[in-house]
Structure 1
Amino acid sequence: MSNFDIIVLGSGPGGYVTAIRASQLGFKTAIIEKESLGGVCLNWGCIPTKALLKSAQVFNYLQHAEEYGLKASNVDKDFDAVVKRSRSVADGMSKGVQFLMKKNKIEVINGFGKLKAGKKVSVTDADGKVTEYSANNIIIATGARSRELPSLPQDGKKIIGYRQAMTLESQPKKLIVVGSGAIGIEFAYFYNAMGTEVTVVEYLPNIVPVEDEDISKQLERSFKKTGIKIMTSSEVTKVDTAGAGVKVTVKTAKGEEVLEADMVLSAVGIKTNIENIGLEDVGIVTDRDKILVNDFYQTNIPGYYAIGDVTPGPALAHVASAEGILCVEKLANLHVDPLDYGNIPGCTYCSPEIASVGLTEKQARDKGLDIKVGKFPFSASGKAKAAGTPDGFVKVIFDAKYGEWLGCHMIGAGVTDMIAEAVVARKLETTGHEILKAIHPHPTMSEAVMEAVADAYDEVIHL
């Protein structure tokens, strides 16, 4: 007889959410975690970075108080206190997950879990003691970590990953950020706002390369305005850490350039945590660093499932949570539809923020679709002007024939809280005219969505 109905390996936003939903559905559930409940997202990712970014934003406001008719003199920052606040926010969130585990009667097993054949998991605790558990179903949610480039080996001191970037003892005077995805861009914004001289090196022609090209260009303009140096179509070929700081050789279209800094942040993507967890012992198939699964997250071996960053979908916290919920609801024989990976929002929390869902303009055109494109700049928004945040715009893409909302791309203040409108509308198969006729409150940033749609249909009022 098995110990549990479901064992979840890993307690990030994939794992702990899965465990809670499993428990709600009446499954006897356990979760295995080698470090802190909440995983990278709560402890070293999504949540503590937002705390850092808020400090940077408040610091920026104080420095520009005069623009709002206010006086704030001798404004300074305490870098150590900023980091401490971020850590306390993360600790509070992790304690919140502990409470949720108790509330939902989920057994938390601390230690490193390794899969075994026959639906078993052996767990090695901190003292090296090994205990074996069994379950009817095992769900792998071990997540990912910072990927290392051969030309940029992380030493945790001069060449760091996101974890160290969050808890530095002292603020670097000069920082080079390699990679301009969400992680690299958020840290570039944070350190620049705190007064560090920041250079961003991106291999591809545009920063935030997964975004619509107009978004990339706007962010580059906004970043350059704040003094961040941007190098695109550039590759780090060599790093020299011998001296006091670090010398980075960057290959560009114009030739080689040597940059000097105190530190390099490597933000070139992620590497899944699939080594040494027993995949080979069980015979679970992987491809290109990912565990292969079907629409309901079943691996090739019955009784073993995988969700989140270890599977081929987008490596995002909200995706991992959705996948886990879907996985256990299917196990409970509820009627569920496969996840629509074409309708997943992506957010970057720099300033201005970025939020997007669906196709970019280029993707829509490459598919040969006949499209209508609308754009509304926040410089024409009363709320944005009053708030002192006129940077950015909302861009919408519709299918010209059927009115289907193909994509929505935003850059501006608070847009990460606005993108859900487009996600829900697309889920409900809303047309452009329905958005246009849904009254948006004035004055708000969200009006820009309605105005952008109006622009697509040549009915824009405020442009």
Structure 2
Amino acid sequence: MDTNYDLIVIGAGPGGYVAAIKAAKLGMKVAVIEKGELGGTCLNRGCIPTKSLIHATELYRKMQHSEEYGIIHSEISYDIEKIFSYKDGVLEKLRGGIGQLFKANNITLFKGTAKIFKDNIVKVRTCDDLIELKGTKILIATGSKPAIPKIPGVNTPGVVTSDDLLTNPNINCDNLIIIGGGVISVEFATIFASLGKNVTIIEAMSRILPSMDKEISQNLKMILKKRNVNIHTNAMVESISKENDKLICSFKEKEKLHTVEGNSILLAIGRSSSIDDLFDTSICIDTERNKILVNEDFETSIKGIYAIGDVIKGIQLAHVASAQGIVAVEKMNGIVPTLNLDVIPSCVYTDPEIASVGITEEEAKDMGIPVVVGKTITSSNGKAILSNDERGFIKVIFTKDYHAIIGAQMMCSRATDMIGELSTAIANKLTDKDLTKAMKAHPTYNEALVEAVEDAFGKSIHSRIKK
């Protein structure tokens, strides 16, 4: 077997597998090394399984209110094992799709753990063999794993990570405590609150989703509280202990010590890079705080070795890793990048959904950029009303001089789908006139997007006149 390749990709997650297919389509001979399942964290222990559970549990929650729509039922319940079985079926289909793409593009897959040696040698430890590969170029896309905080008692049985919750339906979450108030936290809170579980969130910052628009954080907090989720902010966890089969989480809030009891505690403070034991002692790649340092071409301090996704500095999102993989491969082949990596949409799959792209009004103010803001409340949108949606909003940010859109934040149904249109608009420096030129179908959520754009300049048909 010929073990020389133009490109060796380590990791078959959304960054690695996309980069591998792109490279193969550009004529490179490609090998991929993956120690687990195809699809990496996103497909197997992150984005897809989480959203599958959200879809199923939100359906259960909404069915409890079906009489509002004239749908009468005598009894409704759920089977957690079947919910997880549905989730596993989704993952299996998507993994199979990646495998078929590898075969179609003549990509060689090695199942095992990789270690990089000098001279671009990669050794793969499989179940029963050690295979040595040689790559003209190597791309590291090994992703991340749940970060474990240094809290006394963090190793107490019953303290779990998102990996544990997504793979084990038998974990008792009747009373779930979540440490952290970011995206992972609020999505799991949505899942278990929909099933009627008691959920408590403990966040060190002043609000949940601290990196997003303040109005989004405030609205989500109100909605989660209506669903009986207890939220503590400006709260620091002091310790975890166990008494009489109950986990005790002690935390300090407003200088006072509090405790809360739970069956399980979810650690959701973020993720750390998976680069342990990746490099042989014969090579030394520059890193900083467990992140691989790369240049604008995604090349590391060692020529011919590249890195993308969660192992480098920057936002940790699956679509960011995929985009970086495409750009890295294009640059390897001397092609001008086809993607703008500066415009990054972010999505949170709560109900209602949350999505943002570009900068917020507050960030624009801090940067000294004069802006005009348009906003619409989606409770006046026909599609939102007939769907009986929660109160939501769409906000758009334009430069005051050229009326170019530079940011958007939305909290409403289909937000994660609609944000793509605004990402394209920002990447192409479109103006309010560009965005309102095309007719929108009725009734759709997209009509609310037009209302927000027109509101910025006092042209909205269905909004109140701006003073």
**Post-superposition CA distance 1:284-315 (Å, at most 9, x none):** 10112211111111111111000111011211
Q: Secondary structure at the match of 1:238?
A: strand
Query: By how many angstroms is 1:102 displaced?
Result: 1.1
Conserved? CA contact 1:323–1:339, under 8 Å: no
Please list every run of 5 or more consecutive structure 2 residues that lacks an aligned counterpart in the other structure.
none
- Decide whether the 8 Å contact of 1:171 with 1:196 is kept in 2: no
The question of whether the paired residues in 1 share the 8 Å contact of 2:156 and 2:241 is answered with no
How far has the Cα of 1:243 moved from its partner? 3.2
**TM-score scaled to structure 2, two decimals?**
0.96
2:428 aligned partner: 428
User: Secondary structure, in 3 states, of the residue corresponding to 2:204?
Assistant: coil
Structure 1, unaligned stretches of length 5 or more? Answer: none
SS in 1 for 2:32: strand
TM normalised by structure 1 equals 0.96
CA distance in 1, matches of 2:184, 2:377: 26
Aligned-pair CA distance for 1:280: 5.3
Between the aligned partners of 2:337 and 2:347, the Cα distance in structure 1 is 26
Q: Please give the residue correspondences for 1:79-94 in structure 2 after superposition, counting only pairs within 5 Å.
A: 79-94=80-95
1:152 and 1:266 in contact (8 A); partners too: no
Q: Secondary structure at the match of 1:259?
A: strand
The offset of 1:436, in angstroms, is: 2.8
SS state of the match for residue 57, structure 2?
helix
Distance of aligned partners of 1:199 and 1:175 in 2 relative to their CA distance in 1, 3 Å threshold: same
Counterpart of 2:125 in structure 1 is 124
Asked if structure 2 preserves the Cα contact closer than 8 Å seen for 1:59 and 1:194, the reply is yes
Q: Is the alpha carbon distance of 1:308 and 1:110 closer, same or farther for their aligned partners in structure 2, counting shifts above 3 Å?
A: same
Instruction: Indicate the percent of aligned positions where both proteins have the same amino acid.
Output: 37
Give me the whole-angstrom Cα distance separating, in 2, the residues matched to 1:70 and 1:12: 42
Q: CA RMSD in A?
A: 1.6
Q: Which residue of 2 aligns with 1:361?
A: 361
In the aligned structure 1, how far is the partner of 2:184 from the partner of 2:23?
A: 31
2:447 corresponding residue in structure 1 = 447
- The amino acid across from 1:114 in the alignment is K
Report the CA distance between 1:126 and its aligned residue. 2.3
Q: Say which SS state the counterpart of residue 241 (structure 1) adopts.
A: strand
Deviations 1:330-355 (A, max 9, x none): 112222267432x1000010111110
Match of 2:68 in 1: 67
Aligned pair in 2 of structure 1 residues 79, 152: CA closer, same or farther (>3 Å)?
farther
Task: Please say if residues 174 and 197 of structure 2, whose CA atoms lie closer than 8 Å, have aligned partners that are also in contact.
Answer: yes
Do 1:272 and 1:309's aligned partners in 2 also have CA atoms closer than 8 Å? Answer: yes
Distance 2:447 2:285 in 1: 49
For 2:458, the aligned partner's letter is D
2-structure distance, mates of 1:356, 1:315 = 15
1:351-390 to structure 2, matched below 5 A, reads: 351-390=351-390
- Tell me how far 1:216 sits from its aligned partner: 0.6
Distance in structure 2 (CA, Å) of the matches to 1:140 and 1:333: 19
What is residue 148 of structure 1 aligned with on the other side? Answer: 148
Is 1:458 the equivalent of 2:425? no
- Per-residue CA distance 1:250-271 (angstroms, 9 max, x = gap): 1111511000000011110001
Residue aligning to 1:95: 96
Matches within 5 A, 1:117-196: 117-127=118-128, 129-151=129-151, 155=155, 157-166=157-166, 167-196=168-197
Q: What letter matches 1:386 in structure 2? A: L
Residue type matched to 1:124 in 2? R
Aligned equivalent of 1:287:
288
1:440 shift after superposition: 2.1
AA in 1 matched with 2:16: G
Q: Is the 8 A contact 1:154 1:161 kept in 2?
A: no
Instruction: Quickly say closer, same or farther: Cα 1:385–1:280, change in 2 above 3 A.
Output: farther
Distance 1:345 1:240, change over 3 A: same
Whole-angstrom distance in 2 between the partners of 1:108 and 1:252: 50
SS across alignment from 1:31: strand
Q: Contact 1:79 / 1:170 at 8 angstroms: preserved in 2?
A: no
Amino acid corresponding to residue 30 of structure 1 in structure 2: A
- In structure 2, C-alpha distance between the alignment counterparts of 1:16 and 1:154, rounded to whole Å: 34
State the match for 2:264 in structure 1: 263
Which position in structure 2 is the counterpart of 1:49?
50
Q: Give a deviation string over 1:440-460, Cα, whole Å, max 9, x none.
A: 222111111111111111122
Per the alignment, residue 28 of structure 2 pairs with 27
- Deviation (angstroms), 1:157: 4.5
2:109 aligned partner, one-letter code = V
Q: Structure 2 vs 1, CA of residues 214 and 306 (structure 1 numbering), >3 Å: closer, same or farther?
A: same
Q: 1:218-367 to 2 correspondence within 5 Å? A: 218-278=219-279, 281-336=282-337, 339-341=340-342, 343-367=343-367
> Is the alpha carbon distance of 1:390 and 1:380 closer, same or farther for their aligned partners in structure 2, counting shifts above 3 Å?
farther
1:14/1:323 contact within 8 Å kept: yes
Distance 1:122-1:152 versus aligned 2 partners, 3 A rule: farther
The C-alpha deviation readout for 1:392-447, integer Å capped at 9, x for no partner, is: 10011111112121210011112101100100111111012221333222211111
Distance in 2 between residues matched to 1:257 and 1:390, nearest whole Å? 32
Secondary structure of 2:55's aligned partner: helix
Aligned length: 461
Separation of aligned partners in 1, 2:387 and 2:212: 26
| Offset at residue 214 of structure 1 (A) | 0.7
Q: Does 1:415 align with 2:415?
A: yes
- Residue by residue over 1:48-99, the C-alpha shift from the partner in whole angstroms, topping out at 9 and shown as x without a partner, is 1111011111101210101112112211111111112112211221122111
Aligned to 1:198: 199
Aligned residue number for residue 9 of structure 2: 8
Report the CA distance between 1:199 and its aligned residue.
Answer: 0.8
SS at match of 2:282: helix
Contact 2:187 2:350 in 1 (8 A): yes
What's the CA shift for 1:171? 4.3
The 2-side partners of 1:262 and 1:9 are apart by 38
* Letter aligned with residue 211 of structure 2: V
Change (3 A) 1:14 1:154: farther
Cα separation, 2, equivalents of 1:301 and 1:123: 20
CA contact (8 A) 1:378 1:392 kept: yes
The one-letter code matched in structure 2 to 1:136 is T
Structure 1 residues 270 and 280: CA distance shift in structure 2, 3 A: farther
3-state SS of paired residue (2:265): strand
